[in-house]
Amino acid sequence: MANAIRDVNRSVAPQPDTNPSTELTSAVHRQFRNSHEGHRPHAGLDPTRASTGVVWTSERAYEQGYLDDPSSWANLGQGAPEVDDEIEGCFERPHSIDVSMTGREYGPTAGIKPLREAVARLYNEHHRKGKRSQYSWENVCIVPGGRAGLIRIAAVLGNAYLGFFIPDYTAYNEMLSLFRNIAEEIARGTSVILTSNPRNPTGMVVKNPELAQIQDICRDRATLIMDEFYCGYNYTSNCDGTVISAADNVEDVDEDDVLIIDGLTKRFRLPGWRVAWILGPKEFIKAIGSCGSYLDGGTNVPFQEAAVSMLEPTKVRNEMRALQRHFMEKRDYVIGRLREMGFKIDFVPNSTFYLWLDLECLPEEINDGLNFFAACLKEKTIVVPGIFFDLNPSKRRDLFDSPCHHFVRLSYGPRMETLVKGMDAIQRIVSRHTGRQFPNRPATQQPHTSPKRARRPSMAADIMGGV
């Protein structure tokens, strides 16, 4: 029996199980757990280091034909926003870029000075007005994407205990508990805290005064690394273009150990450009810039040059205003459809373009993330199982015991027509497994959308994307 369990076919597409109770009785959970186990095809290669849950998700979709005809799928696992020039009020992105003579050369590994100055100016205008301490270009490092930024930060940190958060709604409803947890972990010796704000995957944001209190707890005691890639998707201030950032609460830009990571990827809807930045104390930034020489070689210079004009503060505020209106409309459509199907959504996302969807209202055979994912694949729809956001060090927990077990992350980042297709698919799944009947929606019945510019051809988005 043990051998039979271990020999689950790694290449067969997952199917929903009838009544799984532990990962040993669920084929799709075993397939995920065993996807690389014992496989050593080349000397020195450990493929488990290259595999993550989201990669596994992508591979399963590829097996079902996603790459052959992506337009027929609803990719709600997409970790990137729609990139077309069709959002009313958003500026049109460049379709061609002039390459200067300096753009042909190696660039500085900390980024070109004009872009570093533009980033500093943007943060000073939006987050440091009237404050004595201001960011300068020396407080900014340009990096080739958020992952590269995190890798550079890791490279300059000494041996340290790192704290992070597992997705949990109580972090947003019981702030006093969150403060106590942070203070206790710092007292135990945690010297670096890494978190995203707004939060991926829960779609929630911590704002002031709570955010300021967290920074006060960490000040002079721990380095706070803030992933703020989703900060533009803020629905807490009536879509006025306001962005929530830890930069508002920094007392001294060179003394507060706060590192902020953001870029063009998410809020400027340019994930393919791989242009991001880190803000922080000059000593940190100098080290982070230097280590780029042996880690990644720096960011594409022509794209850096093209990005400078995009960061004019008034232009950015107008862009964020249009972005927030458009994505909140999509959020409301998705939540409305899901509630019609019987999903219980107690916490409406107030930021990002993600919904942390609780599946416990569904029949047992599809009320966990992996089996719901398998059911969605059969309908040419992609979601991300919640367990992929539970780091579960050393795989010590049974997957069924994960606090993320009954969740999936659903993205409303794609275009509206993709969301309609995905909601229709999920409705068919719910109907098939519950016997409930839903009113037919005519193909012509579409939610309200903003007037669109002519769409240019584009390649299909990758399933997951990233920072």
Domain edge (last residue) among 313, 340, 370? 313
Does any domain span residue 262?
Answer: yes
Q: Is the predicted pLDDT of residue 2 greater than 50, yes or no?
A: no
* pLDDT score, position 28: 75
Q: What is the pLDDT of residues 136-161, one digit of tens each?
A: 999 999 999 999 999 999 999 988 87
Stretch among 138-142, 332-336, 429-433, 459-463 having the lowest mean pLDDT: 459-463
Q: Are residues 368 and 294 in the same domain?
A: no
Residue 175, exposed/middle/buried by CB under 10 A (0-12, 13-18, 19+)? Answer: middle
What was the pLDDT predicted at 166? 67
Output phi, psi for 48, to 5 deg.
Answer: -65, -25
In sequence order, what are the beta bridge partners of 279? 140, 260
The pLDDT score that the predictor gives to residue 176 is 53
* CATH code assigned at 359: 3.90.1150
35-39, 64-68, 278-282, 424-428: least confidently modelled range: 35-39
Model confidence pLDDT, tens digit, residues 380-396: 999 999 988 887 655 66
- The percent of residues above 70 in pLDDT, for the chain, comes to 81
pLDDT in tens, 43-58: 777 776 666 777 788 8
Q: How confident is the model at residue 1 (pLDDT cuts 50, 70, 90)?
A: very low
Residue 278: per-residue pLDDT: 99
Residue 399 domain-assigned (yes or no): yes
Give the pLDDT band (50/70/90) at residue 171: very low
126 in the same domain as 29:
no
pLDDT digits (tens, 9 = 90+) for 86-132: 999 999 999 999 999 999 999 999 999 999 999 999 999 999 999 99
pLDDT tens-place string over residues 257-293? 999 999 999 999 999 999 999 999 999 999 999 999 9
The pLDDT assigned to 401 comes to 78
Check pLDDT > 50 for residue 465.
no
Same domain, 73 and 110: no
Point out the domain boundary residue: 313, 333, 367.
Answer: 313
Q: Does residue 252 sit in the same domain as residue 166?
A: yes
Give the pLDDT band of residue 19 (cuts 50, 70, 90).
low
**Tell me, what CATH number does 308's domain have?**
3.40.640.10
Residues 59 and 117 in one domain: no
User: Do residue 193 and residue 231 come from a single domain?
Assistant: yes
pLDDT of res. 460: 35
Residue-range definition of the domain harbouring residue 300: 102-313
For the chain, give the mean pLDDT: 86
pLDDT score, position 33: 63
| 442 in a structural domain | no
Mean pLDDT within 233-262: 98
**Domain closes at, from 313, 332, 362:** 313
Residues 365 and 283 in one domain: no
Structural domain contains residue 169 = yes
Share of the chain above pLDDT 90, in %: 68
Assigned token pair, 357: 């969807």
One domain for residues 264 and 230: yes
Q: Judge if 223 and 291 occupy the same domain.
A: yes
Domain check: are 228 and 377 in the same one?
Answer: no
Strand partners, 382: 75
Q: Would you say residue 288 lies in a domain?
A: yes
Same domain, 277 and 389: no
Tell whether 376 and 283 lie within a shared domain: no
Q: Is the dihedral of CA 72, 413, 465, 428 positive or negative?
A: negative
Which range, of 25-39, 181-195, 364-378, 446-460, averages the lowest pLDDT? Answer: 446-460
| Burial zone of 189 (CB within 10 Å; 0-12 exposed, 13-18 middle, 19+ buried) | exposed
CA–CA distance from 205 to each of 177, 190, 271, 389, 466 (Å)? Answer: 16, 23, 22, 17, 18
Higher confidence at residue 185 or residue 41? 185
pLDDT at 111: 98
Residue 272 belongs to a domain: yes
pLDDT tens digits along 177-221: 667 788 888 898 999 999 999 999 999 999 999 999 999 999 999
Q: Does any domain span residue 344?
A: no
- Tokens at 172, concatenated: 């947003």
Structural domains counted in the chain: 2
For the ranges 25-39, 255-269, 343-357, the lowest mean pLDDT is seen at: 25-39
For residue 90, tell me if it sits in a domain. Answer: no
